[in-house]
């Protein structure tokens, strides 16, 4: 009796026994096929890496400007003027102000990279300034006189690095800020120095209600009557940055979305496929007394163990890779570089991967557990319908060699796995096509700056330079352009007036036509939609209080200001507004860079070349698009490798038979390669059109004002290049399973039941 | 008659020092029907695998049609099997996701026969084996005896010099086993097919012209059988003891 009382209760004993048995079985299973275990781990590792990078990128996209505002404690409003201490005190105590900071500010000419440009020199705020605290991204904060901190986009544009000398000082670091948008769209470039003094002050405030900027401005004007105040509203900064970064954010969003899908498919294919291949073992386990629930628990536990180790390694790799993409992205989006080591995305990635592993193990395990034990034991003895799949019938109809036909048939032995692999490969193709479409879009915009609403070769922000520009031998056409606000039927609108000779600067007008005479106008999609107008309608706006009626004759492609822009000949207005810039087109075969330098020297200002601007943007976004595309290709490769290895294992008997009836090792390799190629070709057939349609749809959905107008389609040659690329990827992925198939020990396999 | 198969001093040693064959000398003449028999583990299947190149000998020589083949590469062995050897296995080893017709035609296509020629040969073979009506079905839907007939058709489609059969009746009921043996005998009698058949069943072995009895990896005895010898089975069963 005493011995009996030492024994644990039956249920508990059973549980301990089951756990011991499970641990032994799981260990045996994982070590019996180390290659497959490693591959499963590699697939989970790749998925986790891709997921971390993707989540980090997406976190940076969530609301990049908001992130930057938070990181820099950005001002809601800034007032720049010659202010006394009493003026400053008055502004800081206005209603609604919850925090403020004041610093000296002076604009000066400085020589940067051999050119004289205007820079905004500002007193370096305290490290813990309550408002507009520059966020250091490179180097260190200045700590002594003569040391400078440079705004990052200005530094990038001017080619400045820490250690360089500029404006009489030495750069010690770079920083981002939301007190102004990125250079050169917003100039002058900004430099903080420890020793700036002068009568000009900048008072930056944070408001209790960020939307109360207009009220603050009115109150400031009332508080300091007679003082000329220049305001910077955070809405304006945000709109400028967002306009500029929208395309980039859009492209990155598309890629990360695709990456998330690809990760899910990879885990589903690799884990689900392997569990399905274990159905016979599952039958054996049931035969020796395991319950279906116990089998599910065993398999889920086994794969979670592998998944946990692989996912942890993947998180480390992802955190290491992510900064390579995050840095260029943050530069593109004008935000501080987000950290790839943020605990939340890492934890989220781990949870997502483990949840995917559990689900994609449990579902096929449950299905396998429902197979009758006797049927499960009979699996692997050559089950099948004997009917050729559609792909195999096509292969037969094309009179492909027997080896190719066998390969095609083999690839479709498990339809569900073949479908998942095709889906994963299709995502890879869609990504490639999307990457090519991004290239094509940039190419199209570079070729036709009108698609950026900049139908000119060069722009000089110096209206008085018109005569000099017209006199330049390289200039074919030149005129002036003005940008100003007009009062529309439902609030303020952005307006542009083009001077005489506007016909030489045709905007891209997909609907209707370009304006041809004073009184006619074109407008962006946003304006039509906001005002509920159509091409052909009339709209009355107020310019300087005077009503002006415009007949809308076309819709132009307008990337800025949400498309709420109207453009018309300057002669439409009773009083021609002061031009803000000169625009010009060069004669054909002009050395544009040399001509631009000449015009800059004549005008004394920088020349803006739209083509150069787009080229720069393309160069910035390329590493991100290529990096994320390569990551997806790697994930697709692992997926295909896993699928083909599983197929090889399941078809070991068939390969042995092939060898017995005279298939050479090269023939066996050919069968496996043909299977991979068949899946790849189907993925190409689906992926290429799907990629084109998806890219177009996402562009339209995410950028309704201009997306479909600027979208570029890769040429047939570029699209055709995806075929050898994908086939090379599938051949690469097939080589290992192919060699495994060649090594199948025919004598042993064919003897076994 | 010229010997079509010759082995000299054939040995096969597995990892761990297990010696499955210990110097086997065998000669099989063109058109001969030889049965290899013996208890489990005596090495008879190992011998068959070495004759078909599915396994490699540790030492010794193998000649097929007067040509030394034991050192051939995998690829060259594949060509030998394709052109000169047909295999029939105990568990049929048909490919489940190919139809009966595809299974039978496969070696012919690999050997480079035209699809028309392969189809004609397949139709003739399946008809002669009494399974013509199942050509488009999956082999998994057929009975064991029918599946083994499909396997025989596959083995014969390239008109090989040698048919190697490893326990071809081992997975069949007695009626199916008798039918399969009748078909093999018919192939031998009517087409002069050379057959080497491995079996542990004395009644199956008794259908051969000559029986090699193996024990512990070597040929222990050799028995020539006359057609219609009623005592053959009993004599062979004595050999097994």
* B54–A381 CB contact, under 8 Å: no
Q: What is the 3-state secondary structure (H, E, C) of A330-363?
A: HHHHCCCCCCCCCHHHHHHHHHHHHHHHHHHHHH
* Residues of chain B positioned with their CB less than 8 A from the CB of A413: 97
* Residues of chain A positioned with their CB less than 8 A from the CB of B106: 402, 406, 658, 661
* Residues of chain B positioned with their CB less than 8 A from the CB of A386: 96-100, 102, 136-141
| CB nearest to A384's CB, from B81, B97, B154 | B97
Angle between helices A665-702 and A716-742 (to 10 degrees): 140
3-state helix, strand, coil in chain A (%, to 5): 60, 15, 25
Query: Which residue from A693, A640, A639, A56 is spatially nearest to A337, judged by alpha carbons?
Result: A56
Exposure class string for A487-516: b at 16+ Cβ within 10 A, else e: bbeeeebbbbbbbeebebbebbbeebebbe
| Residue A747 Cα, gap to closest chain B Cα (Å) | 5
Nearest CA in chain A to B113: A402
| Arithmetic mean of pLDDT, B164-181 | 89
* A665–B75 CB contact, under 8 Å: yes
User: Using an 8 Å Cβ cutoff, are A396 and A387 in contact?
Assistant: no
| Residue A276 Cα, gap to closest chain B Cα (Å) | 17
Query: Which residue from B73, B70, B27, B61 is spatially nearest to B196, judged by alpha carbons?
Result: B27
Element at A364 (helix H, strand E): helix A343-370
Report B:88-147 residues touching A (Cβ under 8 A).
89-100, 102, 106-107, 109-111, 136-141
* A382–B93 CB contact, under 8 Å: yes
Mean pLDDT, rounded, of chain B: 88
CB distance from A660 to chain B under 8 Å?
yes
Report B:149-168 residues touching A (Cβ under 8 A).
154, 158, 166
3-class state of residue B228 by DSSP:
coil
Interface test with B, best of A386, A409, A410, A664 (most B CBs within 10 A): A386
A to B CB pairs, distance under 8 Å: 108
Strands (E), A311-449: none
User: Using an 8 Å Cβ cutoff, are A515 and A536 in contact?
Assistant: no
The separation between CA B154 and the C-alpha centre of its own chain, rounded to angstroms, equals 12
Q: Using one digit for the tens of pLDDT, what is the confidence trace for B127-161?
A: 988 999 999 888 888 998 899 999 999 999 999 99
Start-to-end CA distance of chain A, whole Å, equals 49
| CB nearest to B154's CB, from A402, A654, A661 | A661
User: Using an 8 Å Cβ cutoff, are A122 and A198 in contact?
Assistant: no
* Residues of chain B positioned with their CB less than 8 A from the CB of A660: 52, 54, 81, 87, 89, 93
How far is the C-alpha of B202 from the C-alpha of B200, rounded, in Å? 6
Report A:89-148 residues touching B (Cβ under 8 A).
none
Q: What is the 3-state secondary structure (H, E, C) of A212-249?
A: CHHHHHHHHHHHCCCCCCEEEEHHHHHHHHHHHHHHHH
CB distance from A191 to chain B under 8 Å?
no
3-class state of residue A604 by DSSP:
coil
How far is the C-alpha of A311 from the C-alpha of A146, rounded, in Å? 49
Task: Give me the pLDDT at residue A62, please.
Answer: 62
* B106–A742 CB contact, under 8 Å: no
| Arithmetic mean of pLDDT, B172-183 | 89
* Residues of chain B positioned with their CB less than 8 A from the CB of A666: 75
The pair of structure tokens assigned to A419 is 């479908």
Angle between helices A610-650 and A34-61 (to 10 degrees): 150
| CB nearest to B79's CB, from A383, A657, A664 | A664
Interface test with A, best of B52, B93, B113 (most A CBs within 10 A): B93
Q: Using one digit for the tens of pLDDT, what is the confidence trace for B6-41?
A: 999 999 998 888 899 999 999 999 999 999 999 888
Task: Give me the pLDDT at residue A247, please.
Answer: 62
Residue A22 zone, left/alpha/beta (φ > 0; ψ -120 to 50; rest): alpha
User: Using an 8 Å Cβ cutoff, are A645 and A39 in contact?
Assistant: yes
DSSP state of A661: T
* Residues of chain B positioned with their CB less than 8 A from the CB of A743: none
User: Using an 8 Å Cβ cutoff, are A365 and A334 in contact?
Assistant: no
- CB contact set of A383 (below 8 Å; sequence gap of 6+): B96, B140
- CB contact set of B3 (below 8 Å; sequence gap of 6+): B27, B28, B29, B30, B63
Place of tokens 């891709």: A50
* Residues of chain B positioned with their CB less than 8 A from the CB of A753: 91, 171
CB distance from B18 to chain A under 8 Å?
no
CB distance from A733 to chain B under 8 Å?
no
DSSP state of B30: T
- Say if residue A184 is preceded by a cis peptide, omega within 30 of 0: yes
How far is the C-alpha of A412 from the C-alpha of A421, rounded, in Å? 10
Nearest CA in chain B to A383: B96
* A383–B100 CB contact, under 8 Å: no
The separation between CA A89 and the C-alpha centre of its own chain, rounded to angstroms, equals 45
CB distance from B176 to chain A under 8 Å?
no
The pair of structure tokens assigned to A63 is 């609301």
Interface test with B, best of A660, A666, A669, A750 (most B CBs within 10 A): A660
Report A:287-316 residues touching B (Cβ under 8 A).
none
Q: For residue B196, give its domain range.
A: 3-240
The pair of structure tokens assigned to B53 is 């190149």
| CB nearest to B97's CB, from A385, A661, A752 | A385
* Residues of chain A positioned with their CB less than 8 A from the CB of B74: 664-665, 742
| Residue B76 Cα, gap to closest chain A Cα (Å) | 8
* Residues of chain A positioned with their CB less than 8 A from the CB of B164: none
* B78–A659 CB contact, under 8 Å: yes
* A747–B55 CB contact, under 8 Å: yes
| CB nearest to B95's CB, from A657, A665, A746 | A657
| Residue B233 Cα, gap to closest chain A Cα (Å) | 26
| Residue B27 Cα, gap to closest chain A Cα (Å) | 22
DSSP state of B207: T
Task: Give me the pLDDT at residue A705, please.
Answer: 60
CATH of the domain at B150: 3.40.50.300
Task: Give me the pLDDT at residue A1, please.
Answer: 40
The pair of structure tokens assigned to A333 is 């989006």
- ipTM for the complex shown: 0.77
Contacts of A415-420 with C-beta under 8 Å, sequence gap 24+, read A415/A389, A416/A272, A416/A276, A417/A269, A417/A272, A417/A273, A417/A276, A417/A643, A417/A646, A417/A647, A418/A643, A418/A679, A420/A265, A420/A268, A420/A269, A420/A272, A420/A273, A420/A643
Task: Give me the pLDDT at residue B95, please.
Answer: 78
CB distance from A409 to chain B under 8 Å?
yes
Domain count for chain B = 1
* A386–B98 CB contact, under 8 Å: yes
* B78–A663 CB contact, under 8 Å: yes
User: Using an 8 Å Cβ cutoff, are A361 and B112 in contact?
Assistant: no
Distances (CA, A) of A173 to A120, A136, A161, A332, B133: 16, 7, 8, 19, 85
Distances (CA, A) of B53 to A741, A743, B87: 17, 14, 11
* Residues of chain A positioned with their CB less than 8 A from the CB of B142: none
Q: CB B240: neighbour CB atoms within 10 A?
A: 15
Query: Which residue from B91, B89, B86 is spatially nearest to B111, judged by alpha carbons?
Result: B86
Which parts of chain A sit beneath pLDDT 50?
1-8, 380-384
* B99–A386 CB contact, under 8 Å: yes
| CB nearest to B78's CB, from A410, A656, A664 | A664
Distances (CA, A) of B173 to A120, A753, B145, B146, B180: 98, 16, 8, 12, 11
Pairing of strands A115-123, A189-193: parallel
* B141–A386 CB contact, under 8 Å: yes
């Amino acid at each position: 009796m005493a011995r009996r009382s030492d024994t644990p209760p039956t249920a508990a004993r059973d549980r301990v026994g089951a756990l011991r048995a499970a641990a032994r079985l799981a260990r045996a299973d994982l070590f019996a096929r180390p290659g497959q275990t490693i591959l499963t781990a590699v697939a989970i590792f790749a998925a986790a890496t891709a997921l971390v990078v993707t989540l980090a990128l997406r976190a940076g996209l969530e609301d990049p400007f908001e992130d930057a505002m938070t990181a820099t404690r950005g001002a809601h409003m800034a007032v720049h003027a010659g202010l006394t201490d009493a003026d400053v005190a008055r502004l800081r105590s206005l209603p609604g102000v919850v925090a403020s900071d004041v610093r000296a500010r002076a604009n000066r000419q400085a020589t940067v990279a051999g050119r004289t440009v205007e820079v905004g020199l500002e007193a370096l705020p305290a490290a813990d300034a309550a408002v507009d605290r520059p966020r250091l991204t490179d180097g260190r904060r200045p700590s002594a006189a003569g040391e400078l901190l440079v705004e990052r986009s200005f530094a990038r544009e001017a080619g400045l690095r820490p250690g360089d000398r500029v404006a009489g000082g030495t750069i010690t670091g770079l920083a981002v800020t939301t007190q102004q948008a990125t250079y050169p769209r917003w100039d002058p470039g900004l430099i903080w120095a420890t020793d700036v003094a002068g009568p000009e002050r900048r008072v930056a405030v944070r408001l209790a209600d960020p939307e109360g900027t207009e009220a603050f401005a009115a109150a400031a004007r009332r508080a300091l009557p007679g003082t000329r105040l220049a305001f910077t509203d955070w809405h304006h900064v945000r709109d400028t940055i967002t306009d500029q970064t929208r395309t980039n954010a859009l492209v990155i969003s598309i890629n990360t979305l695709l990456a998330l899908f690809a990760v899910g498919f990879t885990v589903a294919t690799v884990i689900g496929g392997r569990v399905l291949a274990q159905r016979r073992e599952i039958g054996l386990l049931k035969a020796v007394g395991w319950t279906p629930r116990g089998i599910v628990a065993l398999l889920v536990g086994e794969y979670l163990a592998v998944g946990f180790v692989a996912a942890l390694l993947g998180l480390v790799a992802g955190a290491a890779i992510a900064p390579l993409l995050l840095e260029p992205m943050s530069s593109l989006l004008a935000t501080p570089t987000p950290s790839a080591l943020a605990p939340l995305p890492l934890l989220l990635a781990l949870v997502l991967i483990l949840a995917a592993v559990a689900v994609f193990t449990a579902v096929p395990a449950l299905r396998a557990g429902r197979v009758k034990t006797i049927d499960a034991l009979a699996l692997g003895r050559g089950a099948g319908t004997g009917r050729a799949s559609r792909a195999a019938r096509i292969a037969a109809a094309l009179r492909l060699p027997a080896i190719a036909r066998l390969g095609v048939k083999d690839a479709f032995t498990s339809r569900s796995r073949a479908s998942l692999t095709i889906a994963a490969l299709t995502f890879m193709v869609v990504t490639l096509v999307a990457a090519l479409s991004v290239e094509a879009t940039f190419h199209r915009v570079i070729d036709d700056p009108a698609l950026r609403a900049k139908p000119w070769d060069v722009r000089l922000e110096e209206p008085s330079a018109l005569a000099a520009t017209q006199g330049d031998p390289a200039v074919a056409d030149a005129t002036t352009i003005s940008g100003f606000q007009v009062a529309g039927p439902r609030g303020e609108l952005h307006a542009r007036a083009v001077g005489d000779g506007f016909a030489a600067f045709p905007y891209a007008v997909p609907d209707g036509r370009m304006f041809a005479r004073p009184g006619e106008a074109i407008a962006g999609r946003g304006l039509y939609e906001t005002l509920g107008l159509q091409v052909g309608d009339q709209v009355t706006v107020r310019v300087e209080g005077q009503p002006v009626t415009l007949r809308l004759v076309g819709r132009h492609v307008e990337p800025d200001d949400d498309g709420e822009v109207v453009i018309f000949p300057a002669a439409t207005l009773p009083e021609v507004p002061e031009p803000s810039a000169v625009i010009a087109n060069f004669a054909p075969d002009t050395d544009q860079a040399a001509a631009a330098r000449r015009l800059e020297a004549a005008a004394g200002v920088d020349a803006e070349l739209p083509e150069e601007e787009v080229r720069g943007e393309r160069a910035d976004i390329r590493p991100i698009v290529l990096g994320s595309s390569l990551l997806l290709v790697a994930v697709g490769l692992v997926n295909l490798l896993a699928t083909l290895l599983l197929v090889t294992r399941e078809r070991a008997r068939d390969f042995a038979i092939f060898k017995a009836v005279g298939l050479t090792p090269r023939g066996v390799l050919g069968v496996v390669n043909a299977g991979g190629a068949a899946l790849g070709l189907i993925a190409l057939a689906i992926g290429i059109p799907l990629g084109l349609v998806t890219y177009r749809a996402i562009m339209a959905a995410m950028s309704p004002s201009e997306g479909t107008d600027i979208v570029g389609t890769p040429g047939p040659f570029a699209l055709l290049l995806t075929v050898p690329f994908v086939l090379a990827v599938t051949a690469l992925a097939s080589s290992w399973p192919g060699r495994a198939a060649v090594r199948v020990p025919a004598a042993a396999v064919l003897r076994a039941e | 008659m010229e010997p079509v198969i010759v082995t000299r001093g054939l040995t096969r040693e597995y990892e761990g020092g297990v010696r499955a064959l210990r110097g086997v000398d065998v000669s099989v003449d063109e058109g001969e029907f030889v049965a290899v028999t013996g208890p489990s583990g005596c090495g008879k299947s190992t011998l068959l695998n070495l004759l078909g190149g599915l396994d490699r000998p540790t030492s010794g020589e193998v000649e097929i049609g007067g040509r030394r083949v034991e050192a051939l590469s995998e690829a060259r062995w594949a060509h030998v099997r394709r052109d000169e050897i047909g295999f029939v296995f105990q568990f049929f080893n048909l490919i489940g996701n190919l139809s009966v017709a595809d299974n039978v035609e496969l070696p012919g296509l690999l050997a480079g026969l035209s699809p028309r020629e392969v189809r004609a040969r397949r139709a003739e073979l399946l008809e002669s084996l009494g399974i013509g009506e199942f050509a488009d079905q999956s082999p998994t839907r057929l009975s064991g005896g029918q599946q083994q007939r499909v396997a025989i058709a596959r083995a014969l489609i390239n008109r090989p010099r040698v048919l190697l059969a490893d326990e071809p009746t081992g997975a069949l009921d007695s009626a199916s086993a008798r039918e399969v043996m009748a078909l093999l005998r018919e192939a031998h009698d009517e087409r002069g097919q050379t057959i080497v058949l491995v079996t542990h069943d004395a009644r199956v072995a008794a259908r051969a012209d000559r029986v090699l009895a193996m024990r512990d990896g070597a040929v222990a005895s050799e028995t020539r059988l006359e057609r219609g010898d009623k005592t053959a089975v009993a004599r062979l069963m004595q050999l097994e003891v």
